């Protein structure tokens, strides 16, 4: 197998999660150039992946002008510039691994699909849940016909409160007006992709949706709450205290303290507390300026008559993803965090009228080294399979080309239109 060379565009948390495969499997992948606007992250990533100074760039156009050969570009930029950067990369003839969501606009989505075909480049999407041992095994069981034809699907995503507050209440995805993506697209397009991929024997037809920003709204702020948490009379008791979540718990330091522009391990607790007195991460969660929904339900009808329902909840005590698929011959039910699921198959043999049940445990299949436990092992698995795919191995059932990622995004667009305009939307 040929060792591949990749370029990293955007050396944030997600970009480095994929590029780290070069450290885990150096015989399979090498990072040969980095493009990053932050001087600090450019240096840290350049040193981490041993990229020469001559191949470290602050600007995408500067990189493209040098025509550096590589097998693919990892595009891990922010959502709102995915389209612009992707067009430039594909026009230059590079294959690309693009972080989700692809884009917030339908016309841009279809244009990227067209351009990939026109330029004959491979455009793969980072829907990492497809690659986890958990969902991959479920897909294999469906493809084998074990539960028959899919009739109904029920999926839930519960986003842990600390994650939700850090990313979607105070963080860079808190406003659809600013980043271009609502919560459903920014976070749960993973789940919309799963629904369409697991049931890709058919295509989505109609969508309805209801949702709102019902918890993190000004009307719910306790009486006497201040603009910033540090001097609020409720700071010690509030579930969403900036000091408690971002300093004491500190679940996502790579995101919370990014604007301080210092190596994370050099930032003191005192500096963090002072920073929160004036930075958006210190704002009251009820008045942080966010406008995205914090809960939403989506209903989907497919062309073959099967249906799916998805519920997303932002701000739960426990992170969780639930799935229950009913088919003509059986069903699949489980929770991702348990790393196991149940397969029930109808038994009508002889005088029986029941079902056989099997528990599928994938806990020992999750790759846990080099920090790759993220997304149930999907962060590692996507790179493992992509390297083989770009070497000509087409055996993966998970590989997410642009053609196979269209429907999940179309469902998201339709759901947002349905929710905002109070109507059923036909795809």
H-assigned helices in 101-231? 106-119, 133-143, 161-164, 176-179, 183-186, 189-198
Tell me the pLDDT of the chain averaged across its residues: 94
Of 3.60.150.10, 3.40.50.720, 1.10.3720.10, 3.10.270.10, the CATH number of 4-125 is 3.40.50.720
Q: What is the pLDDT of residue 375?
A: 65
Shortest CA distance to 253 belongs to which of 271, 235, 229, 240? Answer: 271
Q: Is pLDDT of 370 > 80?
A: no
On the question of pLDDT at 369 being above 70, the answer is: no
What angle in degrees, to the nearest 10, is found between the helix axes of 189-198 and 133-143?
Answer: 20
Q: Where in the chain is the domain with CATH 3.30.360.10?
A: 129-216+290-367+399-426
State residue 372's pLDDT score.
44
Give 408's pLDDT tier (boundaries 50, 70, 90): very high
Q: Which CATH number fits domain 129-216+290-367+399-426: 1.10.1740.10, 3.30.360.10, 3.40.50.1220, 2.40.50.180?
A: 3.30.360.10
H or E stretch covering 326: strand 320-327
Share of the chain above pLDDT 70, in %: 97
Query: What CA–CA distance (Å, rounded) separates 370 from 48?
Result: 13
As a whole number, mean pLDDT of residues 116-125 equals 97
Instruction: Please check the confidence at residue 329 and state whether its pLDDT lies above 50.
Output: yes
- As annotated, the residues of the chain forming the CATH 3.40.50.720 domain(s) are 4-125
- Average confidence (pLDDT) over 49-78: 97
Mapped onto helix, strand or coil, the DSSP state of residue 411 is helix
pLDDT value for 170: 95
């Amino acid at each position: 197998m040929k060792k591949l060379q990749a370029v990293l565009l955007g050396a944030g948390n997600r970009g480095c999660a994929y590029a780290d495969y070069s450290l885990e499997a150096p015989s399979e992948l090498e990072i040969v150039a980095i493009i990053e606007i932050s001087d600090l992250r450019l240096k840290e990533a350049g040193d981490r992946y041993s990229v020469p100074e001559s191949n470290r760039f602050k600007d995408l156009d500067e990189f493209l002008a040098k025509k550096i050969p590589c097998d693919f570009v990892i595009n891990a930029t922010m959502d709102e510039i995915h389209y612009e950067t992707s067009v430039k990369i594909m026009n230059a003839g590079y294959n690309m691994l693009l972080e989700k969501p692809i884009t917030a606009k339908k016309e841009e989505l279809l244009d990227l699909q067209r351009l990939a075909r026109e330029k004959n480049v491979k455009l793969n999407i980072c829907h990492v849940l497809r690659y986890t041992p958990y969902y991959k095994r479920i897909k294999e069981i469906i493809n084998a016909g074990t539960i028959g034809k899919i009739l109904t699907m029920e999926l839930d995503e519960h986003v842990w409160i600390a994650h939700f507050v850090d990313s979607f209440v105070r963080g860079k995805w808190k406003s659809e007006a600013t980043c271009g993506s609502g919560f459903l697209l920014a976070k749960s397009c993973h789940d919309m992709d799963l629904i369409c991929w697991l049931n890709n024997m058919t295509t989505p037809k109609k969508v309805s949706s209801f949702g709102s920003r019902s918890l993190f709204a000004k009307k719910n702020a306790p009486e006497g709450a201040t603009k910033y948490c540090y001097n609020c009379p409720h700071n010690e008791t509030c579930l969403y205290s900036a000091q408690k979540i971002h300093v004491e718990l500190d679940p996502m330091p790579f995101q919370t303290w990014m604007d301080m522009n210092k190596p994370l391990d050099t930032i003191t607790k005192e500096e963090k507390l002072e920073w929160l007195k004036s930075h958006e991460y210190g704002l009251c969660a009820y008045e942080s300026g966010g406008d995205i929904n914090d809960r939403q339900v989506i209903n989907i009808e497919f062309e073959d008559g099967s249906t799916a329902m998805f519920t997303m909840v932002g701000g739960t005590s426990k992170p969780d993803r639930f799935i229950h698929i009913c088919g003509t011959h059986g069903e699949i039910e489980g929770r991702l965090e348990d790393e196991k699921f149940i397969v029930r198959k109808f038994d009508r043999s002889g005088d029986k009228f029941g079902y056989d049940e099997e528990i599928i445990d994938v806990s020992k299949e999750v790759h846990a080294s080099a920090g790759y436990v993220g997304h149930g092992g999907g962060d590692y698995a996507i790179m493992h399979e992509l390297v083989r795919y770009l070497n000509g191995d087409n055996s993966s059932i998970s590989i997410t080309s642009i053609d196979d990622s269209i429907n999940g995004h179309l469902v998201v667009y339709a759901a947002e239109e349905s929710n905002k305009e109070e109507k059923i939307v036909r795809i």
